[in-house]
């Protein structure tokens, strides 16, 4: 039922071209890995946190390598409790640059679509230097 309600909301906004001033759409507030981050340990998943609830049926996130190959496990899912977190597993990432693409539908009916990159740095060889 909530799916229908959100679809109707999206339709209303599209027809009226008037965003509701009291409704905020879901913005990406943080991610792991972070935007433009360089990490030394390949992440087992990519997780996105949004400012507002997102509609699970319309949430998409995928991870692509520099050659344009999709490298996520294809199991993107919205957390059950708050519906503000979206994650996808990324097993076996090697060193390289990756692009995270996401598209979510806020409960206010707005679609938010964007992307960001992160880099996995090759593991440094042990140097014996103590921190
Ligand atoms: Cu909005």
CA of 107 to the centre of ligand 1 (A): 8
User: What whole-number distance in Å separates Cα of residue 127 and Cα of residue 56?
Assistant: 46
DSSP-derived secondary structure letter, 36: T
Tell if the pTM clears 0.85, that is, is over it: no
CA of 4 to the centre of ligand 1 (A): 17
Nearest to 102 by CA among 51, 28, 34: 28
Q: What is the per-residue pLDDT for 93? A: 97
For 41-92, the pLDDT digits (tens) are 999 999 999 999 999 999 999 999 999 999 999 999 999 888 999 999 999 9
Q: What is the per-residue pLDDT for 44? A: 98
Mean pLDDT, residues 90-115 taken together: 95
Domain map (residue ranges) of the chain:
2-13+26-120
User: What whole-number distance in Å separates Cα of residue 66 and Cα of residue 68?
Assistant: 5
CA of 21 to the centre of ligand 1 (A): 9
CA of 22 to the centre of ligand 1 (A): 9
- Give just the sign of the alpha carbon dihedral 51, 76, 78, 108: positive
Average pLDDT of the chain, as a whole number: 85
Report how far apart, in Å, the C-alpha atoms of 33 and of each of 30, 44, 69, 73, 102 are.
9, 10, 19, 16, 14
Are the beta carbons of 104 and 54 closer than 8 angstroms?
Answer: yes
With a cut of 70, say whether residue 97 has pLDDT above it.
yes
Architecture of domain 2-13+26-120 in this structure:
Sandwich (2.60)
Mean pLDDT, residues 99-113 taken together: 93
């Amino acid at each position: 039922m909530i799916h229908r309600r959100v679809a109707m909301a999206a339709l209303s906004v599209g027809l009226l071209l008037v965003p509701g001033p009291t409704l905020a759409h879901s913005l990406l507030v943080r991610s792991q890995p972070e935007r433009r981050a360089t990490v030394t340990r390949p992440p087992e998943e990519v997780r996105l946190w949004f400012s507002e609830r997102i509609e699970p049926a319309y949430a998409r996130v995928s991870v692509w390598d520099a050659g344009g190959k999709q490298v996520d496990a294809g199991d993107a899912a919205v957390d059950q409790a708050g519906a503000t977190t979206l994650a996808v597993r990324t097993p076996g990432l090697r060193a390289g640059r990756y692009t995270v693409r996401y598209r979510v539908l806020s409960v206010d009916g707005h679609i938010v679509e964007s992307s960001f990159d992160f880099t996995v740095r090759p593991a440094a060889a042990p140097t014996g230097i103590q921190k």
